Structure 1
Amino acid sequence: MLYIDDNNEVGFKQQAFVEFFASLEIYHHSRLTHYEKLINQFNDVTWQNTAIFYAGHSKELYGMIDDIISKSPNEDLKDWFVNSGGMGYLAQALYQTKPSERKKLVLKSLDNLIKSYNEIKKLSEDESSFFYNIPLTFLCSIVDFWFNENFKSVTLTKTLEQSFNDLFKEENCFENNYKLLMISTTLMNPYIGEDACFERLIERKEFINHPILPFVADMVIDLGIIEKKSVSKVLKVKLEKSIKKKKEYLKAVLKEPAYRFNDDFSIDN
């Protein structure tokens, strides 16, 4: 566990030990100034891990959820990704907190990932960007994968279901249906294994008829984010039929970079 570094000082071999013991110190000694650092530095991975350990000591911290949402940095693509990932693990650590409270973290994370989607779409035009020329469907799958990886815990089942139900009642538009896809595919992850929300989404006319969302759902299945065997044959057939109807359009989607598509998913000529 311990070692002597180049400066002849004793340290921990694993950074996680430092983060864990720091969280104990802050939690048990009620160090307000350090608590503020947990919030304000939430997008620094070291402080974020410490914050998650800190939350785990309590398991129920209502004020911390609101503080993270309102005070942690949230200005650019890096913030949106790091922030949303941390919120997933924070929601898991606070497993004794009411789902209605943890739902705030789910919804904020989804908002940030929609911002990420829009920003990466713009970056697909930038030759110097890592995301240069990325197709729209790949972009959607990447963002879905990120949400899934950070929220795929059985401790979040009720929280995710509540979030899904709330969003399902809101405006029936691309952004909300995309958010619903992220939630429902996460619920179908092997760690949770709930398929009711995914089935409900596929049954929604506006989703199944959308230009790209059924194809994204199919990609998510093929990528193994959700298990193929957990998807009923009826749903598979519906997805396949929807995709076949848009076959020529989807060929263009796969060839063109994301920025070429307008908000209504028509191709910008």
Structure 2
Amino acid sequence: MGERRVTVTVTDGVADVRLNRPEKRNALDPAMFEALVTTGEALASDPSVRAVVLSGEGPDFCAGLDFTAFRAMAQGERLSLQVDLPPTTGPARATGQRAAYVWAEVPVPVIAAVHGHALGGGLQITLGADLRIVAPDAALGVLEIHWGLIPDMTGTQLLPELVGRDVAKELTLTGRQVSGTEAVALGLATRTDPDPRVAALALAADITERNPDAVRWAKRLLNQAGRVDLATGFAAEQQAIGELIGSPNQVAAVHKRL
């Protein structure tokens, strides 16, 4: 069990997912990339899962790429290309992109609980989550520019949606690290908590009390906002409400409030 790069425990509909390489600050190597993708895809197809909490074992969430990856790059190699994954029909095709975006494709809410460092690829993994609860003293940063690179795990596309284009450029072009507190102010994180994992698990438990069909539809519709034209978005909204009204889970939700 200790050699598994990602561990998963599902309790009462909440999947507690943890990056499990604490001695390396949960750094990303080929095995970690593969574990993130396969774990996310497995959870996406598990109907018993109603919310996901994504965190890291040890003192950090994820400090980014393993240093062996940078050494390989100096020789013109990309270690992520060594990962043998089945093909996907989603928009993220490269291994690193899939490791981050798979959490956006999980149909239930994914909450990233961030403590310590979330840097480079580690930060980009959090971008695939729906919500980010961070420790006030956490350190988040787009560090790729320090290595002569650009963020290539969805960061160039998803970061501007959260912080705006100009702030995304500043963070990307300078590699400046921000605290959890500043991350919230910038829109990079949802809120702070001194114990983000406990707070994330409590939020996930609250979500599991809601109509699971409405929760899934809400995530799908909100993910579409700004990415599809208004006519498509409005039509999807009406499809959702048409399916939800009078459904068993919706009726049960009404009775709980009466």
Q: TM-score, normalised by structure 1?
A: 0.35
Structure showing greater relative contact order (alpha-carbon pairs closer than 8 Å, 6 or more residues apart): 2
- Structure (1 or 2) with the greater helix fraction: 1
Q: TM-score, normalised by structure 2?
A: 0.36
Structure whose CA Rg is larger: 1
